[in-house]
Amino acid sequence: MARLRIGQAAELLRVSPDTVRRLVDSGQLKTIRSSGGQRLIDSAALARYMAAQPRTEPPAVVRESARNRFTGIVTRVLKDTVMAQVEMQAGPYRIVSLISRESADALGLKPGVMAVASVKSTNVVIELPRA
């Protein structure tokens, strides 16, 4: 399972690293220590935490271009024989995309995977961020 650094989790949550540290200290997020002593957060646990948070309305005015890219974390994947419904949480935004099952399998999409949603009109494309 993927492990995230405090800063990566903060970026996904759209909060400061100090806020993530407070979530860890309060027991809302669990961490493990790397061999170097760095605190790491399980990405699937972060996905569960994000999915459980109340949804907030996005700002009335969005300063994004017509082609928006949202980095987030996959919170749920429902698959049938042909299609997959992929849900992501990117800050306050819940994004749902219908893609082929073959694409979801090829990308390895499952809760906890970091992904990028590219939004253009009514189409949402799910891809993986560059490492």
| pLDDT per position as a tens digit, 61-105 | 555 454 678 889 999 999 999 999 999 999 888 999 999 999 999
- Residue 78 and residue 122 in one domain: yes
Q: Give the number of C-alpha atoms closer than 13 A to the C-alpha of residue 67, restricted to the C-beta side.
A: 1
Q: What was the pLDDT predicted at 66?
A: 45
Q: Write down the pLDDT at residue 85.
A: 97
At 9, which CATH number? 1.10.1660.10
The DSSP bridge partners found for residue 6 are: none
Question: Is residue 75 located within the same domain as residue 117?
Answer: yes
Whether 60 is covered by a domain: the verdict is no
Phi, psi (rounded to 5 degrees) for 28: -75, -25
The pTM (predicted TM-score) of the whole model is 0.58
Q: Which domain holds residue 13?
A: 3-52
User: Using one digit for the tens of pLDDT, what is the confidence trace for 116-125?
Assistant: 888 876 667 7
Higher per-residue pLDDT: 26 or 63: 26
